[in-house]
Structure 1
Amino acid sequence: MKFLKVLAYPLSLLYGCIMLVRNKMFDWHLLPSKSYNLPVICVGNLSVGGTGKTPHTEYIIKLLMNNFKVGVLSRGYKRKTKGFFLAESASLVTDVGDEVLQMAHKFDNIKIAVCESRRKGIEILLRNFPDLDVIILDDAFQHRYVKPGLSIILSDYSNLYTNDFVLPTGNLREFISGAHRAHIICVTKSPKVLSPIVSKDIEAKLSLQPHQKLYFTYIKHGNFIPLYTDNGSEMPPKVYVILLFAGIANTYPLEEHLKTKCDDLRVIKFNDHYQYKEEDALALLQKFKDLYSVNKIMVTTEKDAKRLENSVFKNIFRNIPLFYIPIEIEFHNKYKTDFDNQILNYVRKNKTNR
C-alpha cells in the first residue's frame, strides 16, 4: 500500500496544484463567486467524507428552525435524478440520496432540495420560497461559485486534515491551505472526555487564522430502532452477538459503541453510500443465520436504513431482528454555547439586511 502511495504522489501533487490554481482564480475574481442577500451557511470539509456532515447539518437545522424559515441544499450524492429536485418524506433514495432523504424524514417543516449547481439550486429555492430566512449548503466547501457568509469545515479527531494529503495519495480534495477560507473548524468524533491538553495541542496543529473559531464535538448514539416496525421480530432480552453491516465512510465510532452492547461483534463493510442489491441482502441474511447464537441481532446505520426501505428488502429480512441506530452530535463543555451564539448571531445580523 505504501508503495502504491509513493507511485501516486506525483498525481496528488498535480491534482493539488490544479485545485490551488482554481481557488486562486476565485480569490482573484477571475472566476465568479456569487453572494446572496440572506444568510448562507456552508457545512463541508477538506476530505472526501466520513467527518459527520449530516449530523452537524441536522444540528444547525434544529438550532434555527423554530425561529427562522430554513432551506437546505445538497448535491444529493448517488441519486439517479438530475438537476433541481425538492425532497419530501415520500421521496425515494434514488431521487435525492440517502442523506437528504434522512433529513426530509426528520424535518418536514423546512425546505430541502438537491441540485448539482448550488447557485442554480439557491436561485430556484428563493424563487419558489421567497420567505426563506437562511440557506444551509451541505458539502459545498469546494463549490466556489457560491460565496457563503459563514463556512464550517469538519475534521475527524482521529484523522486531522493536517495529517492527510490530497487525492489519490490521501483523502483531501485540496491542499490544507484551503482551510483558511473557513470561519469555523469543528473537530468531530472526539472522545466524550476531552483533555484540555489534547484540545490545545490540536489547536496548535491546525494553526488557526485570527478569524477562525475551533470547536470539538462527539457522537451521541441513540437507541436501537427496528428498521421494519411490523416484521414480527423483537429485541432479545440479552444480546450476545451483533452483526453490523454498513456502507459509510467510517464505522469505527459505531463499532466502539456496539462493543459495549454485546459479547461478540461481527462487522461487514460496504463502500460509502453503497446501493444494496437483493443478492447483498440475501448474503447478509445467510451470514446472520450462520451465527451460532440465539440472542443475536443485525444492526446498520440510519443512513443505510434509507437505502433498505423497500418491499424487497423488507420481505428478505422478515422476522429478523434488524435495527438501526440514529446519531446526534454534542459539543464539549462551553463549545455548545459559543457555537450556538456564533450561528444565531450571524443569521440574525444578516437576515435584517434583506
Structure 2
Amino acid sequence: MHVFHNPVRTVAGLGALAALPELLGERRAVLLTFGEAGALGLVELLRLRVGDRLAAVIDCITPNPDLADLELLYPQVWQHRAEVVIALGGGSVIDSAKAMLVGTPSGQFHEIRRLLRDGERFVPPAVRRLIAVPTTAGTGSEVTPWATVWDREQQRKHSLHLPETWPEAAIVDPVLMRSLPDAVTLQSGLDALSHALEAIWNRNANPVSDALALAAARSILVTLPALLRAPDDMALREAMAIAALQAGLAFSNTRTALAHSLSYPMTLRFGLPHGIACSFTLPLVARLAIGRNAERDAVLAQALGPLASAPQRLERFLEDLGVRTQFAAYGVDEAGAQAMLEAALQGDRGRNFIGAPA
C-alpha cells in the first residue's frame, strides 16, 4: 500500500494570480516579500486584487533566512491584525513566512529558536494561514511544510516542520517569473531538477511521487536550456513553472536526499547559491545511486535514459549551462569533499538516499 498526502490547494498556470481574492476571502493578510518586488510591480499586482484586505507590506526578506533575521521580523508580522500571511517571492521568502505562522506564548521568537535548536516544543496559542505565491520556478516550498532556516551563529542549518507550516494554498503564475534574471532562472531551475531526482533515488519514493518526479525531470532537462536561450518565451516559463511544481509535490512526500545534504555546508561555509549547491553534485550522486536498487534504477532510466552513461550526460548538461561539477571548482579539496560526503550520508536528508548506510 502506498500513501501520498499533500493538503495544499494549488492554482497554476498563466494568470493564476486572479485566484487570490477567492483564496483570501474576507480575511486580512500581511504580505511578506523581497526588496525589489515593489519596483518590479509585483506588490501593486497584489494590491489591485486584495485592496484593503492587505493589512501591511513587509519587503525586507533577503536570501537564506537566518535565525537572527527572523527574530527581528517576527514582531513586525505579528503586530498587524491579520489571519493570513501571503508570501510573494522565492524559497527564502516562503520559508521566512512559514517561520511567522505560529504564535508563541511569549509573543516573541524565543520559543521558535528553542524549538529549532533544542527541539523544545510548545503549543501555539494562535496560528496564521499561508498563501504562497512563488516568483521563481524551483523552490517547491509553496507545496511543502518545511522551512530551511540558517543558524550562522552555530554554523548549522535547521528545518522547521510543524503541522501548521503547510501552506493553505499555492498560486503558481509564470507571469510573476518573467522578469527573473538569467542567474536566478538557472539556479531555481536546477533546484527543481535536484528535487525531482532526489525524489527518485529516495527510500521514501512511491508510485505517485515517481510519476510527478519523472514528469518534472524530463521537462526540466529540455525546458531549462531552452528558457535560458529565450527568457521572454512565456510558454517555456509556464512549462518550467509546472515542472518545478511537480518536483515540489514529489519531494513533499519523499523529502530530499544526498544532494541536498551535501549542499548545506556548501552554502553555509562557501556561500554557494542553493540551486548550484544542490545540483553540481547530481552526477556524483547519480553514480552512487545507480545499481543500488533495481526498482529505482528502472525509474531513473525513465528520467535520464541509459544508466551506463547517465552521470556523464548529467555532467555535460550542467557544464553546458556553466555549472562546474567538481568540488575543487568551489575551493574544496579531495579530502574535504570525501569528509563532506561521509557526513552528508549521516545527515537527516542524506539518510533518505538509497545508498546511505542502513
**TM-score when normalising by structure 2:** 0.26
> Which has more helix, going by share of residues?
2
More strand by share: 1
Highest relative contact order (Cα 8 Å, sep 6+), 1 or 2?
1
- Could you say which structure has the larger radius of gyration? 1
TM-score (norm 1): 0.27
